[in-house]
Amino acid sequence: MIWINNITEDAIQQLTIKLDDGTTAQLNMKYLDGQQGWFYGLTYGTFELINRRVVVGVNMLRAFRNIIPFGLACQTQDGQEAIFQDDFSSGRASIYLLNPVDVAGVEQVLSA
């Protein structure tokens, strides 16, 4: 599990994430004041997600675990959703890249 620590409070940002196998994924983050929350898009090869809400959870990409070899987890200090523009820059919220071993571990816990 790797902390994605370069998310700022900029309302729109594009991040390149390097995966364990050396490939990369593009993570687009957007804060929407009117929706009071963060949204993300993800591109990995031909796989693409657009405008999904960032939610606290062990793997926001769980629905795609048989399609892509990684996941994204979001945690907050208080267990509430990331609703403030500075949540990631202040450290209140964090997003983590899950490698295939991490994803398998999440699945083991969820299926137990």
pLDDT tens string, the chain, 112 residues long: the values are: 999 999 999 999 999 999 999 999 999 999 999 999 999 999 999 999 999 999 999 999 999 999 999 999 999 999 999 999 999 999 999 999 999 999 989 888 887 6
Whole-prediction pTM: 0.93
HEC profile for the chain? CEECCCCCCCCEEEEEEECCCCCEEEEEEEEEHHHCEEEEEEEECCEEEEEEECCCECCCCHHHCCCCCCEEEEEECCCCCCCCCCHHHHCCEEEEEECHHHHHHHHHHHHC
